[in-house]
Amino acid sequence: MSVLVGKKAPVFTTEAVVNGVEVVEKFSLEQYIGNKHVLFFFYPKDFTFVCPTELFAFQAKMAEFEKRGVAVVACSTDTPESHWGWLQMPKDKGGIQGVTYPIVADTDKTISANFGVLAGEYDLDENDHLVASGPMIAYRGLFLIDKDGMVQHQIVNNFPLGRSVDEALRMVDALQHFEKHGEVCPANWKEGDQAMNATHEGVAEYLAAH
209: how many CB neighbours lie within 10 A of its CB? 8
The counts of H helices and E strands in the chain are 6, 9
- The closest alpha carbon to 55, from 20, 11, 107, belongs to 20
Note if 51 is an active site residue: yes
CA distance 168 to 97: 23
- The single-letter code of the amino acid at 202 is G
CA distance 45 to 189: 33
Which one of the listed residues 38, 51, 151, 185 is annotated catalytic?
51
- The single-letter code of the amino acid at 167 is E
CA distance 8 to 30: 11
> Which residues participate in catalysis according to the annotation?
51
